[in-house]
Structure 1
Amino acid sequence: MPVRWRDLDAFNHVNNSKYLSYLEEARLHWMLTVPGMGMDDHVAPVVAAAQLNYRRPITWPSEVVIELFVERLGNTSLTVGHRIVDAKDPQALYCDGHVIMVWIDRESGAAAPLPRPVRDACRAQ
């Protein structure tokens, strides 16, 4: 993913809030590979928590790689681990941490069972 000029803050590095946008984009690309994107008329995923450890600033121009992996597969939730690294030097770690996604019933807002296609996609990793 290329770093965009507009992602920079007054200190000439990527603003911390943009890291969340990068992670969201990577998760959405992954979800496009899951049949039905892991949602339907009855259930959908929401982000319940996000932990980001900022290891070093990302500067412009550069390109980053967002690595996603399953940390925990629950009954109603999925913990997605992540790493943001430099595309040219994967040893250059910019950020790591995880995001907890919970599937909810669209009507009630209560937690709902993890859809089978999501569970299957996670086990295939």
Structure 2
Amino acid sequence: MGVFVTGVRPRWSDMDAFGHVNHANTVTLLEEARIDLLFTEAARHGVPDMAHGVVVARLVVDYLTPLTFTGDEIVVEMSVRELKSASFTLDYSVRNGRQEGSPVVTTAETLMVPYNLTAGRPRRLLEAERDFLAGWRAGGNGA
């Protein structure tokens, strides 16, 4: 359905003094979920090149309610909103737990840029990368 769903487990040390998952640690949890899509799932579909270089060019996080540590996984739903020749935007919805109907506690977006680590500069998406990402467009047919 165009949405990639993965689970990430916050750690006790991710909490701040108020018992909420700290902002920097929330960003790390989003990164772990993103790695699952762009590295693990992409490689599983024969597209390993993104693991060799893709960087975050922009990050926006909106906290709807506090993300609290429960010991359980959080659910991160991701889809590709915008797909250009040398960048793409990922949208995230984070749910605190796997229970059916769990409310969204955080939304986020990242502007991602493929990067040539050897040359030290951005690069264009390869055709296989574009095809993989297109399968995760919001409202599309997941890869």
- Identify which range, 97-106 or 68-77, moves more after superposition: 97-106
State the TM-score, normalized to the length of structure 2.
0.77
1:115 aligned to 2:126? Answer: yes
Q: Which runs of 5+ in 2 are unaligned?
A: 1-7, 136-141
Decide whether aligned partners of structure 1 residues 39 and 58 sit closer, same or farther in structure 2, where only a CA change above 3 A counts: closer
Decide whether aligned partners of structure 1 residues 23 and 90 sit closer, same or farther in structure 2, where only a CA change above 3 A counts: farther
Q: Which SS does the other structure have where 1:18 is aligned?
A: helix
Q: Is the 8 A contact 1:38 1:115 kept in 2?
A: no
Following superposition of structure 1 onto structure 2, how do residues 33-112 of structure 1 map, counting pairs within 5 Å?
A: 33-34=41-42, 35-40=47-52, 44-61=53-70, 62-86=72-96, 87-112=98-123
Distance 2:127 2:41 in 1: 14
- Structure with more relative contact order (C-alpha pairs < 8 Å, separation 6 or more): 2
Identity score, percent: 27
Distance 2:119 2:109 in 1: 26
* CA apart distance, 1:118: 1.8
Q: Is the 8 A contact 2:10 2:29 kept in 1?
A: no
State the TM-score, normalized to the length of structure 1.
0.87
